[in-house]
Amino acid sequence: MCSVARTLQSPKANPWRTGLEQALRTPLELLEFCRIDPDQVDLLTEPAFPMLVPRPFASRISPGNARDPLLLQVLARAQEAHPAQGFGTDPVGDHDRRRGSGVIHKYHGRVLLITTGACAIHCRYCFRQHYPYTQDTAMRGRWQGALDYLSERPEVTELILSGGDPLMLDTRHLRVLTEELVQSTAIRRLRLHTRLPIALPDRVDDELIEWLGSLPWPVVIVIHANHPAEFDQAVDHALGRLRSAGVHLLNQAVLLAGINDQPEALESLMARGFAAGVLPYYLHLLDRVAGAGHFETSETRAAELMEQLRIRLPGYLVPRLVREQAGAPYKLPIL
Ligand SMILES: *Cc1c(COP(=O)(O)O)cnc(C)c1O
Ligand code: SF4
């Protein structure tokens, strides 16, 4: 994925592109940045899924803490190489639902578009780490296949830009897509699933805000934060700008052992997100992707945590606990 990110760089680099170039890419670099003794961690030195950690994200890791909940999301550790039963390369059945040109059509009325394989951060539990991006994305403004698919299906009223991370594309490419969507499809809602406001808040720049504000439909941005410490002033600022552009902000989190599987962490994630203008959406049970077995939390524990959240939080700050099951017509609610 790193190589994809590199080839996407435009000649006149934006500040956030520079931020991406300066991202930390090896375990030792990251540990040094966070002043953590490498002897405290069982590292994986040559992970199949390369490491990628932007400095703004790394700066929120507490120095010296080898158990830091942000660090553990991004550091390649030896456990990744341990095989776990039932963990595979296509845990959510995406490969079967590909319709070409980056289109994944699983659910009624909404279509997901893989816009690029690149991300600004590589999350070790990611279910897309084995996705064959090089064969199938709508990358770099080649939208025609996806537009044809949508224009033949007026029942599809929502387009979800995903990836990878759709905000890894330059805004001008995204603008071409939305201009075409207005012309030739029945789309009435646009949604973006992105971790960039958290990973590299500089991505929320004037050009992005201007584009979002110009769109004729309601726009939903689903961010991805798993722990309250992922928010800081720069993130708040980026999210505030998105809200001022009229965007609805939601968060999806993944339940991760050792990171957010305590009621206090989840409660304060929801409260901290709301303070930044974000409502909770889904809390996902881990997708069973090869290499992520050590992050799994049991369904029993998940149910206990949900009970605690219902006790501690107003209803609108309680996320929906779901598991994505291959072949199901929606993300299945768990209790
Ligand atoms: C998650 C997902 C969606 C969106 O589902 P919602 O329940 O509407 O958030 C749509 N398409 C695909 C392929 C998905 O994986
Ligand atoms: S940003 Fe999202 S798609 Fe990219 S590695 Fe993280 S979880 Fe996966």
pLDDT digits (tens, 9 = 90+) for 261-276: 999 999 999 999 999 9
**pLDDT over threshold 50, residue 5:** no
Residue ID of nearest Cα to ligand 1 atom 1: 331
Q: Kindly state the average pLDDT of the residues 229-252.
A: 98
List of domains in the chain: 5-81 (no CATH), 95-333 (3.20.20.70)
pTM: 0.94
Q: What is the pLDDT of residue 259?
A: 98
**pLDDT over threshold 60, residue 285:** yes
User: Which letter, b or e, does each residue of 297-324 get, where b requires 16 or more Cβ atoms within 10 Å of its Cβ?
Assistant: beeeebeebbeebeebbeeebbbebbbb
Ligand 2 within 6 A of CB of 222: no
Centre of ligand 2 from the C-alpha of residue 162, in Å: 10
Q: What is the pLDDT of residue 100?
A: 85
pLDDT digits (tens, 9 = 90+) for 161-202: 998 999 999 999 999 999 999 999 999 999 999 999 999 999
* Cβ(191)–Cβ(233) below 8 Å: no
Centre of ligand 2 from the C-alpha of residue 164, in Å: 6
Looking at all shown ligands, the one closest to residue 332's CA atom is 1
Residue ID of nearest Cα to ligand 1 atom 10: 112
Neighbours of 327 (CB within 10 A): 9
Q: What is the pLDDT of residue 83?
A: 81
Q: List CB contacts of 22: < 8 A, sequence separation 6 or more.
A: 54, 55
Q: Determine the residue of 20, 128, 193 to mutate for testing ligand 2's pocket, defined as the one with the most ligand atoms within 8 A of the Cβ atom.
A: 128
Q: What is the pLDDT of residue 98?
A: 85
